[in-house]
Chain A
Amino acid sequence: MSTNNIPRVEVRNISKYFGNVIALSDVSMAVRAGEVMCLLGDNGAGKSTLIKTLSGVHQQSEGQYFVEGEEVRFNSPRDALNRGIATVYQDLAMIPLMSISRNFFLGSEPTKGIGPLKRFDIAFANRVAHEEMAKMGIDIRDPSQPVGTLSGGERQSVAIARAVYFGAKTLILDEPTAALGVKQAGTVLRYIAQARARGLAVVFITHNPHHAYAVGDRFTILKRGRTFGTFTKEELSREEMVRMMSGADELDALTHELQEFEHTDQLKAEGKLSETEQQLSDKLG
């Protein structure tokens, strides 16, 4: 898929400690241009810590961080942005009551005129917002309509389009599909594929293996701050992915527990429980 073998973004053996807490331990991963790397893991697996390190919010305690083969150490998200690494956060992406084009250019407004007549170039903003969305395959009829009128998936895509327009070469998407329905999640997944086709490197964070499997080229699975390694689609079935994410032992325990419930229900139905067991079961059920 990629012709260039130097990864856009790579971390080698990085660890992150918060006091006594080991948030990340010896994690390595890389993402290349034109590739979607899925970062999977259950809650508390260290996904957030890893992406915050990638996007310059945190600095790693140990290990190395490379951008296009060059070792870097970011002190702020601004540093990461300057190297073309943009992060789209799930909840902070958009301001619903503002128009699409105002959202698109918030903080980097195009201006025209000089001195006291320097003003927000709204025609330019509307045009660019419209064009950039069109490149992602969304036809917004009116860029001056409030973002609140867009669906959740479309809002995410405005944020993605904005990041790309402002020079992002690597996109970090923090659970963009988490709060969305099936159809809207599908929309976002399509834009992720679109971004890949345009040659971006995408780090896609999710805890939904189905979403990951739909667009991912490679998968890095985190659990309790450690990585199981990176797998290609061929190397890893969806079922294996789920098992690794949640941990086989815990799944087995859960299966066992569910069987226990079934067993109790069955006994109850057959009237084989003693009186105290019956009361206890009623209380719980």
Chain B
Amino acid sequence: MATTTAAQKDERMAQTGLITRLLRSPELGALAGAIVVWVFFAVVAPNAWFSLRGTATYLEVAASLGIIAVPVALLMIGGEFDLSVGSMVGLSGAIMAILASVMGMPLWVGALVALVVALFVGWLNGIMVVKTGLPSFIITLGSLFIIRGLTIGVTRLITGRTQIGSLDDMPGFTMMRYIFAVDIPVMGANVSISVLWWLLIGAVAAWVLLRTQVGNWIFGAGGAAQAARQVGVPVNRLKIALFMTTATAAWLLATIQVITVKSMDTLRGEQLEFQAIIAAVVGGNLLTGGYGSAIGAVLGALIIGMVRQGVVFAGVSADWFQVFMGGMLILAVLINNYIRKRAEAARR
């Protein structure tokens, strides 16, 4: 009996059209934006743009942003910001490089230690936000400067420099390269493995967000933390876990970069936090939380990656990239607000 009624109800529910559902999806704007940007550079710089090598290049640029942007988007949907991710990239790289070059440890040991530190910093960010009740914007703005300052200061204290090179001579480099920095040949072009990491993170995040219990909690915690608590969502633990996720993503990107360029720079990841937030917002994630999409953040990173590489292909000075990013951010927020109002007031 239950199954027959279920079938009937399901039929009645399936009346929402595909178009309504599309219009209601947060990543719609980003999808349209990605298409527009792709077509634009296909017209302006067709030779590089249509080549597989050109595609592999902008995908790699997008990947290095997307790896951060997707977890940042999850955190934003959960109602918080993490401005410390850029500094975390610098810190993780520095720990790896110092442990390997100064202490003589294998690179993978350095990477593991850096991961533990990243998890701890993420936990610390989270616990400070939930315990003090201060805006995470303030807390992580503080940790942005503290982490960056500590990274530069301690590195200079130990090594006398702020950069460490020739990391490919260190033990364990080859193994690390296969996980984090190998190029996969695809029809003559070399696609960086970071692109796979980016897509994998995007897919896992989208699945968690839309198809698991934790995903529902993330929406709830960001939409109305108090209401979510009332129905038993462990909002504080959830937020701390999300901060630990963004820090872990920063560690992953740091590892990929250190292994790819075989060197460490304490300034690496500067301004990445802002680009990640822009990518998330362009992807339809609401600054105030409770609404958004992981796929959107993947697309947001793709847009920014395409433009960053596209201006190079088009022979335009890279200075204009920043102008574009700022403009894109404001435009995206305007579009998001419009879409959200439509979603909220779709009836009558």
Chain A residues with CB under 8 Å of chain B are: 77-78, 89, 92-98, 102, 105-109, 111, 118-120, 122-123, 126-127, 130-131, 141-146, 148-150
B227→A93 contact, CB < 8 A:
yes
Give the segment of B7-15, B42-50, B133-141 that binds chain A.
Answer: B7-15
B163, CB-defined interface residue at 8 Å: no
Identify which of A102, A111, A145, A150 contacts B219 (C-beta below 8 A): A102
CA distance A106 to B227 in the complex (A): 10
Q: Chain B residues near A145: list those with CB within 8 A.
A: 16, 24, 346-347
Query: A150: which B residues are within 8 A, CB to CB?
Result: 347
Question: Which B residue sits closest to A141, measured CB to CB?
Answer: B15
- The answer to whether the Cβ of B112 comes within 8 Å of any Cβ in the partner chain is no
In the complex, B233 has a CB within 8 A of chain A: yes
In the bound complex, do residue A95 and residue B216 qualify as a contact, i.e. CB atoms below 8 Å apart?
A: no
When distances are taken between beta carbons in the complex, the residues of chain B under 8 Å from A126 are: 13
- The chain A residue sitting closest to B21, CB to CB, is A144
On chain A, the residues within 8 Å of B213 by CB distance are 109, 111, 118, 120
Nearest-CB residue, chain A, relative to B292 = A97
Contact B232 A108 (CB under 8 A): yes
- Of B180-188, B313-321, B337-345, the segment with at least 4 beta carbons within 8 Å of chain A is B337-345
Given known A-B contacts A141-B15, A149-B346, A105 and B224 have beta carbons under 8 A apart: no
Could you tell me the distance between the alpha carbons of A148 and B231 in the complex, rounded to whole angstroms? 19
Whether, in the assembled complex, B290 has its beta carbon less than 8 Å from a beta carbon of chain A, the answer is: yes
* Bound CA–CA A96/B13 (angstroms): 20
Known: A109-B213, A118-B213, A144-B21. 12 other contacts (CB 8 A): A96-B223, A98-B223, A102-B216, A105-B216, A106-B228, A107-B217, A119-B207, A119-B211, A120-B215, A141-B16, A145-B346, A149-B346
Expressed in whole angstroms, the Cα–Cα distance for A106 and B219 within the complex equals: 9
Q: Chain B: which residue is nearest A125 at the CB level?
A: B216
**Which residues of A sit under 8 angstroms from B51, Cβ to Cβ?**
none
Of the residues A92, A98, A127, A149, contact of B290 by C-beta under 8 Å: A98
Q: Which of B223, B226, B286 has the most CB of A within 10 A?
A: B223
Which partner residue on chain B sits nearest A134 by CB separation? B9
For chain B, give the interface size range: 35 or more
B22 near A: Cβ within 8 Å?
no
B interface with A by C-beta (< 8 Å): 5-6, 9-10, 12-13, 15-16, 21, 24, 207, 211-213, 215-217, 219-220, 223-224, 226-228, 230-233, 286, 290-291, 340, 343-347
Given A111-B213, A120-B213; A92-B227 close (CB under 8 Å): yes
Q: Is the CB of A119 within 8 A of B219?
A: no
Chain A: CB-nearest residue to B220 = A106
Q: Which residues of A contact B16 (CB under 8 A)?
A: 141-142, 144-145
* CB neighbours of A98 from chain B (8 A): 216, 219-220, 223, 290
Is A107 a contact of B15 with CB atoms below 8 Å?
Answer: no
| Given known A-B contacts A97-B344, A111-B213, A92 and B224 have beta carbons under 8 A apart | yes
A136 to chain B, nearest CB (A): 15
> Taking A96-B223, A98-B219 as contacts, is the C-beta distance between A107 and B231 under 8 angstroms?
yes
- Chain A residues near B12 (CB, 8 Å)? 130, 141
The 10 closest A-B CB pairs, nearest first, are A107-B231, A148-B344, A95-B223, A107-B232, A109-B213, A97-B291, A142-B16, A149-B347, A95-B224, A92-B227
Nearest-neighbor residue (CB-CB) of B234 within chain A: A107
Assembly CA distance A211 to B228 (angstroms): 29
Instruction: Indicate whether A120 sits within 8 Å of B13 (C-beta atoms), given known contacts A95-B224, A96-B223, A108-B232.
Output: no
Q: Which residues of B contact A95 (CB under 8 A)?
A: 219-220, 223-224, 227-228, 290
The answer for the CA separation of A94 and B207 in the assembled complex, in Å, is 24
Distance, CA A126 to CA B12, complexed state (A): 12
Q: Which residues of B contact A109 (CB under 8 A)?
A: 213, 216
CB contacts (< 8 Å) of A96 on chain B: these are: 223, 344
The 21 sampled A-B contact pairs (Cβ below 8 Å) are A89-B230, A98-B216, A98-B290, A102-B216, A102-B219, A106-B216, A106-B233, A107-B231, A107-B232, A108-B231, A118-B212, A119-B212, A127-B9, A131-B5, A131-B9, A145-B24, A145-B347, A146-B24, A148-B345, A149-B343, A149-B346
